[in-house]
Chain A
Amino acid sequence: MSHERWTVTFIVSRRKGEQPPHFQSFQLEVDPDEYVLDGVERIWAFHDRSLVFRHACHHSTCGACGMLVNGVEKLTCITPIRSVTSNGGKVKVEPLRNFPVISDLSVDMSTFYTRMEETCAPQVVPVRGSALPYEKGLFEQADPAYERLADCIECGCCISACPVAVTTPEYQGPAVLAAAQQAFSLTGHAGLLEKMDGADGVWRCHSGFECTAVCPSNVDPAWRIMDLRRKVIGRRIKRLFGLAK
């Protein structure tokens, strides 16, 4: 937070019912250290009460406020306005890609949440082992009894950023594959590998790491997809030698 004041134009994607979508501009006085979501909320509070957007926790634990900001997936509650524009500049806000739009900036998460549920990935995981293997030493000292909320906040940013997700709605998508990887690591449930071993699972990914680039929550879905591929291949080899059912 600062006492600096900027004038910024928010260009907001609007869609109501069957009417054609369009953009609407709002000029706001902002503190550049405020977050993009603060700007969106002020547009609703003081300029246009019909604006629909999804938000809840305002500190990156819930994943409700993922949007496109100047073309890039952002969790808007932790994206300072300073980081996406300059004084006199523009902030273009659109709903996430690859999800049906409910209205304006809000998208329908039902297919995504249904798939996440099918992986049985828990939200609460042991603290020890909850970091990625390459984050050496992080949380490794923690008492084995300690638990924490998992990294994935199910914001959908990775699905929106995934260029192959647009090729078919059947593709599970990065967050779901990452959830399967984490669930398998915790439970060893082989059914998960079978489920994800297919064109709509681990093999459609083109290893472009766009998901990891936009993930606001340290999940590194691309690393997890690559790891899931290793696990899927490992299981196939074991089966070949009759070592797994």
Chain B
Amino acid sequence: MAFSKPHIIVIGAGFTGCALAYDLARRGMDVTVIERGEIASGTSGRTHGLLHSGGRYCVSDQESAVECIQENIILRKIARQCIEFNGGLFVALTEEDAAYAPRFAEGAAACGIEIEQISPQEALRLEPNLNPKVLTVFTVPDGSFDPLRLALAFAASGRYFGAQFHPYHEAQVLVFDGQRRVKGVRVLNRTDGSTREVHGDLVVNATGAWAGKVLAGSGAQVNVTPTPGVMVAYDRRLINRPINRLTPPSDGDIIIPQRRMMVIGTTSYEAEDVDYIPVEDEQVQQMYSDAVALVPGVAGCRMRGAYMSARPLVGKGQSGRSLARTFKCFDHLEADGIDGLVTITGGKATTCRVMAEKTADLVCKKLGLSIACETHAYALRSYRDYYTPNGGRP
């Protein structure tokens, strides 16, 4: 009997969907990706682009912090093409901030994050535009990345291994086999209005903040709280590395350089409808004040853009800041008695590769396969290959 490759349908081409398509295709499966917009047109594209060292979570959410530093090291190897890696700083501006320093140092050590305390003078030598009143400063291995190009690099690598991407195709409804098993997706081609069914051995819902919405009416459920944050971009590059406020995670606690710009982020609130979330003026003003506190020269910059991104936080009923930043993949057979359906959500851009790895592991387990993940060991294809006619294959 000829071996036929399992066919996996991935809904969503954000970081997770693109990384998952690559991982599954690299493990030898047929992969079809259905995406309502273009690559990274939801939460992923609008991330502030911080390659987390894990420092932000090393006290409050160590599981996420460990994931971040491990993936930070891997992404620096496999996705150098779209990462500015100049390190980062955590800086205390007040006595209260400075009092957090011992817990920060302890947390970083516990999570395996390489930090070093440097003098305020040294920090100002490295970053002359930093607030001169800094009291305590640590270096961390942060970086910044181009959000679209990181997603494209995973997608290009997926295409190289044969994954098929269908942008501007919306998953309308899950198709069942008459029992409680998902056999595919009904898909609307948004470029011409036609619909068709795509059938596969398994469907993965990788729609992040939209994960609940995509499952609506299917009988399957997932608890995701869309938790948007507002970011503001300024038109000059006054720093060369991300500057974090040395505090527990809070609003306006980081400025990230990107190209000739800086981005300050972010706020945290809950949204009901993730399809359109307005950017409120008050939050833009708050970001400005927070940015000026870290880098006073922001006051002399022009605002270049203000936008928001809806984090997909797993869980409900607590305030967004206290929800863990880690991810979760669900087999809906266990949770809802529905077979052929897996949801991956939560997590962060920095951890998208391992999110894909764990999801692909679950897919393999469900299919009774044992194929190891290799995505940590090989550099990604050039992001531009995503757009080349044959995916960069000779």
Contacts and interface: CB of A to CB of B under 8 A. Distances in A.
A, B in one complex: yes
Interface of A: 1-3, 16-18, 34-35, 38, 41-42, 45-46, 50, 52, 54-64, 77-78, 102-103, 106, 109-110, 112-114, 116-117, 122-124, 127, 139, 142-143, 145-151, 153-154, 217-218
A116 B151 CA distance: 18
B304 A59 contact: yes
Nearest to A56: B45
A226 to B, nearest CB: 22
Contact of B192 (A17, A41, A60, A145): A17
23 contacts: A16-B192, A17-B194, A34-B279, A42-B276, A45-B275, A50-B190, A52-B191, A55-B37, A56-B39, A56-B44, A57-B49, A58-B305, A59-B46, A59-B263, A60-B305, A62-B146, A103-B191, A110-B388, A113-B384, A113-B386, A146-B86, A148-B257, A154-B384
B148 A57 contact: yes
Contacts of A145: 86
Interface string B146-160: 111101000000000
Contacts of B46: 56-59
A59 B190 contact: no
Contacts of B151: 56
Contacts of A102: 168, 191
Contacts of B45: 55-58, 62, 64
B238 to A, nearest CB: 11
Contacts of B231: 59
A1 B281 contact: yes
B148 A64 contact: yes
Nearest to B85: A147
Given A41-B276, A123-B149, A147 B86 contact: yes
A57 B43 CA distance: 9
B387 interface: yes
B307 A58 contact: yes
Report, nearest first, the 10 A-B pairs whose CB atoms are least far apart: A56-B45, A17-B192, A58-B307, A103-B191, A62-B148, A113-B387, A45-B276, A59-B305, A1-B281, A59-B233
A122 to B, nearest CB: 7
B260 interface: yes
Contact of B384 (A57, A114, A142, A218): A114
Contacts of B259: 61, 148-151, 153, 217
Contacts of A1: 279, 281, 284, 306
A102 B169 CA distance: 12
Given A50-B190, A61-B261, A148 B307 contact: no
Interface residues of B, number: 56
B277 to A, nearest CB: 10
B191 A77 contact: no
B82 interface: yes
A54 B39 CA distance: 9
Given A102-B168, A124-B82, 14 more contacts: A16-B191, A17-B191, A41-B276, A42-B276, A54-B37, A58-B46, A59-B304, A60-B261, A78-B233, A106-B38, A113-B384, A139-B237, A149-B259, A154-B384
A60 B279 contact: no
Nearest to B86: A146
A42 B276 CA distance: 7
A50 B193 contact: yes
A123 B49 CA distance: 15
Contact of B41 (A56, A116, A147): A56
B38 A59 contact: no
B31 to A, nearest CB: 20
B240 A78 contact: no
Given A56-B40, A60-B304, A117-B384, A149 B84 contact: yes
A45 B36 CA distance: 13
A114 B388 contact: yes
Interface string B189-205: 01111100000000000
A56 B82 CA distance: 15
A60 B168 contact: no
B382 interface: yes
B81 interface: yes
B305 A2 contact: no
Contacts of A110: 387-389
B80 interface: yes
B97 interface: no
Nearest to B47: A57
B146 A103 contact: no
Nearest to B260: A218
